[in-house]
Amino acid sequence: MKFLDLAKVYIRSGAGGAGSVSFRREKYIEFGGPDGGDGGRGGDVVAEAVEGLNTLIDFRYQQHFFARNGQHGMGRQRTGAGGDDIILRVPVGTEILEEDQETVIADLTEVGQRVVLARGGNGGFGNLHFKSSTNRAPRNANPGQPGVERTIWLRLKLIADGGLVGLPNAGKSTFLAATSNARPKIADYPFTTLHPNLGVVGVDGREFVMADIPGLIEGASEGRGIGDRFLGHIERCSVLLHLIDATAVDVVADAQTVLDELAAYSPVLMDKPRITALNKIDAVDAETLEATRALLADTLGTEVMLMSGATGKGVQEVLRALWTRIAPSREVAKKDDGAWRP
């Protein structure tokens, strides 16, 4: 299945049915009076977050969604049938934006969440509705209200507990493959990861979800490489794992490049808890590794962990460090949904 995280969609709710002008005509009732029914209500356009989806690719092939119109009213006081709603089934984590791609209409972060994007028009009144003591035979009825037509954008931000960031070939995909059942593409050239990957990671009997996004390079915020278009997928993460290639020529410059691109994208990402780890330590001698670690820790002002995704050395320690940052956010989420108990 192809990955798509942004889609433009055209929607239109159903128009209401027209009211009916009708009179009761029966053989032995001389003055039957009006009996025109009201028109039916038009269908709504609804978005719903569902399980089992992690891409918006379906909206590449169908971009127009029109709800049904309500039926017109009929004689014998019969109201027209309402139009059927149309439901846009989207992955959990989908943001719905106005046409300007900035104004957020809704953010669907839980399974089953629904939002009405365009309400159907009300049906028009039939002439029975206008009957009064002074107007015993009204010959007028209302047309139905028109539907609402609008253009919206769907933007998917994957739901994950932790996010992997780093330069291309920092070992992010290797780490994800070594700690989960995910099988991202792994090769010895840059940009093997072209779209985000998710993996369920287990440590000490606990599980959490990690997201691997394509590598960042200098100038990604200006569109270089793949750019920063996938950084939105880690905005919801509780913690970021910043992987740095220990075999790089200038480790400090590489680390700073990633931090600069995160800051250029959003201050929110810079404020998130972050774990820094030197990867590929199996390819560096102990003396050089310790000097690099000390220099990096001093420059960044943070603890630097050591690990090797290829051999597994230090991986469990990194996972435990990630869990210590994720666990508090899990408790907050439980309190918010009312399921938490002291």
253 class by beta-carbon count within 10 Å (0-12 exposed, 13-18 middle, 19+ buried): exposed
Residue 184 marked as a ligand binder: no
Residue 22 marked as a ligand binder: no
The highest-confidence range among 46-50, 179-183, 259-263, 325-329, by mean pLDDT, is: 46-50
| Dihedral-angle region of residue 292 (phi above 0 means left; psi in -120 to 50 means alpha; beta otherwise) | alpha
d(C-alpha 172, C-alpha 233), whole Å = 15
Percent of the chain with pLDDT over 70: 92
Residue 310 marked as a ligand binder: yes
| pLDDT tens readout for residues 190-245 | 666 777 888 889 898 889 999 888 888 787 777 776 767 788 888 889 999 999 99
Residue 193 marked as a ligand binder: yes
Q: Which residue has the higher pLDDT, 254 or 225?
A: 254
Residue 173 marked as a ligand binder: yes
Average pLDDT over residues 155-174: 89
Residue 147 marked as a ligand binder: no
State residue 69's pLDDT score. 97
Residue 226 marked as a ligand binder: no
Contact (CB, 8 A) for 127 and 141? yes
> Angle at CA 195, nearest 5°, toward 314 and 10?
145
Domains and CATH numbers, the chain: 1-156 (2.70.210.12), 162-336 (3.40.50.300)
Choose the weakest-confidence range: 87-96, 214-223, 272-281.
Answer: 214-223
- Beta-ladder partners of 114: 48
Residue 36 marked as a ligand binder: no
Residue 166 marked as a ligand binder: yes
Residue 194 marked as a ligand binder: yes
Residue 172 marked as a ligand binder: yes
- Beta-ladder partners of 49: 90
Residue 292 marked as a ligand binder: no
Average pLDDT over residues 302-321: 92
Q: Please say if the pLDDT value at position 182 is more than 80.
A: no
Q: Please say if the pLDDT value at position 184 is more than 90.
A: no
Q: Please say if the pLDDT value at position 129 is more than 70.
A: yes
Residue 151 marked as a ligand binder: no
Residue 308 marked as a ligand binder: yes
Residue 32 marked as a ligand binder: no
Residue 212 marked as a ligand binder: yes
Q: Please say if the pLDDT value at position 304 is more than 50.
A: yes
The answer to whether the predicted template modeling score (pTM) of the entire model surpasses 0.85 is: no
Contact (CB, 8 A) for 195 and 185? no
Residue 335 marked as a ligand binder: no
State residue 298's pLDDT score. 93
Residue 283 marked as a ligand binder: no
Query: In whole numbers, what is the pLDDT of the chain averaged over residues?
Result: 88
| pLDDT tens readout for residues 244-253 | 999 888 999 9
Phi, psi of 128 (to 5 degrees): -60, -30
Residue 281 marked as a ligand binder: yes
State residue 335's pLDDT score. 58
